Structure 1
Amino acid sequence: MNTNFLHLTIELTVGFMALILVTKILGKTQITQLTPFYFISALILGELLGNAIYDKEIGLKYVLYALTLWATLIFAIELLTQKFKGTRSLLEGKPSIVIRDGYIDFQELKKNRLDINQLQILLRKKDVFSVREVAYAILESDGSVSVMKKSMYDSTTKQDINAAPKPVFLPTTVISDGEILYDNLAEAGYSEDWLRSELNNLGIVNVKQVFYAEWLEGDSLFINSYR
């Protein structure tokens, strides 16, 4: 076998085994809780290993040294965050309540660089297709959203309530970031005049006051003003 191939095979094998060992030592945190800190650490660790393997001037001992040093630093950070609670928010991030008592917290979304479309995507991944169903939504430090539904929207089976099935409709976003979404409004079968009339009935004279609004067939217009 060519010397270069043999050298690469040995380094890849040792590097692979070393990564498994590092993962075992550090636990499952880097896999299950991909916070910004752990995301960066994973990228750097992969870069260190890749450069060490493919750089001919770097030997096997440097590969192992790089992995050992990086694992030591991560382990030290783990101990630091366990011992000093004040460092957790800095290094691991902290949850943010983006929907509070049924209302979207615009300031929290802005602080976390999250727009309403991204929030809707995260909610749909939790099988929540309408903001009106949500009592509280918490943006976790790993970027996922935890949802607490309003009591009236808690999951119940038809066997529990012994009721006939009803047609299901998708909610339609008609106002986003203070702007009317005319295409969505037309798709729902309503006009701008109807929407403005509905807003006036709720005491809202300017669309710019509304951060988010959605229409759901068979239900009322859901309004979330800037707060």
Structure 2
Amino acid sequence: MHFPYLDIIIRSVAVYFFMTIALRIFGKKELSQLNTADIILILLISNSVQNAMVGPDTSLIGGLVAALVLFVVNFVIKKLTRRYKGLNDLLMDKPEVLIHDGILDFKNLSRLDISHEELKEAAREHGLEHLTDIKLAMLEIDGTISIISGNKKQLNQTHYKRKHNHKNLRK
């Protein structure tokens, strides 16, 4: 017995895992703020993988099967990553410490390609003049920089949207 949409299901699952791995490799900072080029990239990627998922089947049912498979795979992955820590560690990013008790983590900053200027901008947005005033700064999994100050009057935990093209504009 041949299931006519089995090919679409297999292709859709493969594309889902490819995109998950690609986002994991390229990092969370890509998610922090979308600019025009990022939106164009997303549109082009979605158009290119659409053909990979449905193949020659351009019917409404074929498209709906592919979309349903993506929703189901995403749902199952979320359930499994909540249940199994090892799988969660493999697939999901973790927040990264940028500053702890006023001391910059240069290794993480370099690896994450976060400039000194971006940190100072995030600090200013939180009303802090010096990076040494920061108790904890984290790059969150959504690409934002969270800052907790050592100042008890200002426990402002708003998020700074990281603009990864900033450093190119300031040169």
Name the TM-score, length of structure 2 as normaliser: 0.54
- How far 1:56 moved relative to its partner? 9.9
Distance (whole Å) between structure 1 residues aligned to residue 122 and residue 88 of structure 2: 24
Distance (whole Å) between structure 1 residues aligned to residue 116 and residue 89 of structure 2: 24
Aligned length in residues = 113
The 5-angstrom pairing of residues 50-199 of structure 1 reads: 51=50, 58-151=58-151, 154-155=153-154
Amino acid at match of 1:120: K
- How far 1:57 moved relative to its partner? 6.1
Secondary structure of the equivalent of 1:137?
A: strand
What percentage of aligned pairs have identical amino acids?
24
CA gap 1:76/1:56 in 2 versus in 1, 3 angstroms:
closer
Amino acid at match of 2:148: M
More off after superposition, 94-103 vs 57-66: 57-66
Secondary structure of the equivalent of 2:108?
A: helix
Query: Structure 2: which 5+ residue stretches go unaligned?
Result: 1-26, 32-41, 156-171
Distance (whole Å) between structure 2 residues aligned to residue 48 and residue 62 of structure 1: 15
Q: Is the 8 A contact 1:137 1:148 kept in 2?
A: yes
Distance (whole Å) between structure 1 residues aligned to residue 149 and residue 141 of structure 2: 20
Q: Is the 8 A contact 1:123 1:145 kept in 2?
A: no
Structure of greater Rg: 1
**Alignment root-mean-square deviation, CA:** 3.3
Query: Structure 1: which 5+ residue stretches go unaligned?
Result: 1-34, 157-227
Distance (whole Å) between structure 2 residues aligned to residue 84 and residue 133 of structure 1: 38
1:17 is aligned to: none
CA gap 1:56/1:111 in 2 versus in 1, 3 angstroms:
closer
Amino acid at match of 2:154: S
CA gap 1:87/1:123 in 2 versus in 1, 3 angstroms:
farther
Q: Is the 8 A contact 2:101 2:132 kept in 1?
A: no
Amino acid at match of 1:104: L
Q: Is the 8 A contact 2:98 2:139 kept in 1?
A: yes
Distance (whole Å) between structure 2 residues aligned to residue 126 and residue 81 of structure 1: 33
- How far 1:107 moved relative to its partner? 0.9
- How far 1:127 moved relative to its partner? 4.2
Name the TM-score, length of structure 1 as normaliser: 0.42
2:46 is aligned to: 47
CA gap 1:81/1:125 in 2 versus in 1, 3 angstroms:
farther
CA gap 1:143/1:127 in 2 versus in 1, 3 angstroms:
farther
